[in-house]
Amino acid sequence: MTEAEATTTSGNDPGGTASLSPSGAAAPSETPGERGPHEVQAAPHLASAQHGPHPNDAQYIRIAIILAVVTAAEVTLYYLKLQRTASNSLLLVFAAVKGTLVALYFMHLRFDSRVLRRLFLAGFILAVSVYLAYLTTLGVFLK
């Protein structure tokens, strides 16, 4: 069989554009969109230099500064000696802000799929519910 006959009768190349190399193996097609059956293509998120919308170093530093400012506000709030209810409420808000920032950016939940975010949130809500139920059985909320 000649090279021309092998090229036109090749079952691997539906467009008939593959050619034989000197060793007799089929060379990859010349069109950029077509790939051979055994050719491996890199995953899209690994092919580019930028790995998606993840934050860069400057954004991580900004988030760390925000966390430090919120922590400083918590410590300042402790020394102000406000009413217990107001102080505890503000501390809970600050803790929620810090926890949200850590979960979104440092645990990368902001960049994951919605399913993973919802799964994390469902587990968190379940854990808080169990903790509140336990505190209720201890009588912490009764005065």
As a whole number of angstroms, the distance between CA 92 and CA 84 comes to 12
Give pTM, 2 decimals.
0.54
Note the pLDDT tens digit of each residue in 116-136: 989 999 999 999 999 989 988
Give which of 26, 2, 24 is closest to 14, Cα–Cα: 26
**Does position 143 have pLDDT exceeding 70, yes or no?**
no
End-to-end CA distance of the chain: 96
Domain ranges of the chain: 52-111, 113-143
CB distance 41 to 35 below 8 Å = yes
CB distance 44 to 103 below 8 Å = no
Instruction: Give the number of other CB atoms < 10 A from CB of residue 73.
Output: 14
